[in-house]
Amino acid sequence: MTQASSALPVTTPRERRKVVVASVVGTTIEWYDFFIYAFAANLVLAKLFFEPAGAGMMQILSLLTIGLSFLFRPLGAFLAGHFGDKLGRRPMLVITLLLMGIATVGIGLLPTYDAIGIFAPILLILLRILQGLSAGGEWGGAVLMSVEHAPEGKRGLYGIFPQLGVPFGMLLASAMLALMRVLAPGEAFEQWGWRVPFLVSVVLIVAGFIIRRSVDESPVFSEIKESRQQESAPIIQVFRMYTPLVILSALLFAGNNAVGYMLTGGYVQGLASRPESEGGLGYDPVQVQLAVLTAAVVWAIFTYFSGPLSDRFGRKVIMNIGWAVQAAGVIPLFQFVFNGGIPGVYLGTCLLAVGLGLTYGPAAVWFAESFPASVRYSGISISYALGGVIGGAFAPTIAQLLLQNFGTTWAIVVYLLIMTGLGLLASTLLRDRSNIPLDANFERSGQWQDWTPAKR
């Protein structure tokens, strides 16, 4: 594909490196915080906060709290997108990171139901809402800082760095939980060991705060601010002008999320490592976490390579290949987990991670290239948040309900294949705008709607 010219000022290589580091560190911290909660909700929080609900319902309630935060992501996306398009990308990155850290550390300090009764689950839910608000705006800012600083022809490469926060965060969370399972085995993990990964987050937040404060504002927003072209109500403009685009983008993200949350939502880990008396398979929890850690490495590798491949062959081509590979990983997943023991968990999760990397990596840059500069933060944030609600929010809960009602994991497989199909449909219909100019001058020129990338 030919490269389109841009009126943006050239960003120095040193500043680009700082932006890349800030994006990776920030999204890694965000997802580490999420994964720690998701894993804990599958392993111990049901008993500690919802035990009075009974053996079957307490696990459902615990899983529901994973999805609960997603319901507030659109509100977080609305707020962060609005102020990100009006005040800048960088301030929103710092604020959302701090809010996420406060909520995560708060969960680590929270008394259980035995200590304060009904106030324990209420406070837990409030902290999850705060996490949802912050997560709703964090991703969009990180993506735009990376993509809008990227040199021409390398946006796919730069766009994968915020995406690497998912496998890196999962790797870090899995490693931390595996370590705590060793240091605090059995009842000790339930009594205090689960809290340590939440409290460690404070160190990560301080490091992320320092790094993000040091980067320059996005050159695209600087241009918008200088020319006084900020929209007064960007989110309203998004829905007035780009509702079909928001829907397709959300479905694109949902197709990856629903499948990904079998791992990132802790469902496979909980199913494999919970005792048989609690509906699990009773596998060694340390080995299960190490298997997921390995899958996170595979996910990161394929996420990384999907970016440069999308620069060369286009976003649509790589995504559509990814959907096929993702479906191929979904079909045998639970057969490996149920029948293969720990080696089966390794094999099933690693195969799934290949397709997840290919469908997740190009999504960020495709989102950024789909919306014009003046409403870009709002557009990609609300699409991301809605995709999370549709796809990832209640995927672990849906999976558990399907298993309980049908008595077979094939019901879960059908659900995941349907969601993968929706992602494929969205990427087929969504316009590939690889290398479209991202600056505000191009938007004002009136060419945004009509621009089509030239083919080789």
For 302-316, write each residue's pLDDT tens digit: 999 999 999 999 999
Burial string for 43-71 (b: 16+ CB within 10 Å, else e) reads: bbbbbbbbbebeeeebbbbbbbbbbbbbb
| Separation of alpha carbons 14 and 158, rounded Å | 14
Q: How many domains does the chain have?
A: 1
Predicted pLDDT at 87: 67
Predicted pLDDT at 85: 67
Predicted pLDDT at 379: 87
| Separation of alpha carbons 407 and 279, rounded Å | 11
Answer yes or no: is 4 within a domain. no
Phi and psi based region of residue 112 (left: phi greater than 0; alpha: psi -120 to 50; beta: remaining): beta
Predicted pLDDT at 451: 61
Answer yes or no: is 1 within a domain. no
Whole-Å CA distances, 143 to 68, 150, 208, 224, 225: 24, 11, 16, 18, 19
Whole-Å CA distances, 108 to 95, 193, 202, 232, 443: 20, 10, 10, 39, 46
161 neighbors 24 (Cβ within 8 angstroms): yes
77 neighbors 246 (Cβ within 8 angstroms): no
Answer yes or no: is 295 within a domain. yes
How many CB atoms are located within 10 Å of the residue 256 CB?
28
Encoded tokens for 456: 């080789």
| Separation of alpha carbons 281 and 270, rounded Å | 9
pTM, to two decimals: 0.80
Question: For the chain, which ranges sit under pLDDT 70?
Answer: 1-11, 81-82, 84-89, 212, 214-233, 440, 443-456
Answer yes or no: is 454 within a domain. no
Predicted pLDDT at 141: 77
Answer yes or no: is 158 within a domain. yes
Please give the residue range of the domain that contains residue 351.
13-444
Encoded tokens for 229: 């072209």
3 state SS of 318: helix
| Separation of alpha carbons 65 and 62, rounded Å | 5
Answer yes or no: is 450 within a domain. no
3 state SS of 301: helix
How many CB atoms are located within 10 Å of the residue 198 CB?
21
396 neighbors 262 (Cβ within 8 angstroms): yes
Answer yes or no: is 452 within a domain. no
132 neighbors 377 (Cβ within 8 angstroms): no
Cβ neighbors of 429 (< 8 A, separation 6 or more) are 248
Answer yes or no: is 455 within a domain. no
Which CATH number fits the domain that encloses residue 215?
1.20.1250.20
Helix (H), strand (E), coil (C) string for 225-285 = HHCCCCCCCHHHHHHHHHHHHHHHHHHHHHHHHHHHHHHHCCHHHHHHHCCHHHCCCCCCH
Four-residue CA torsion sign, 395, 35, 311, 77: positive
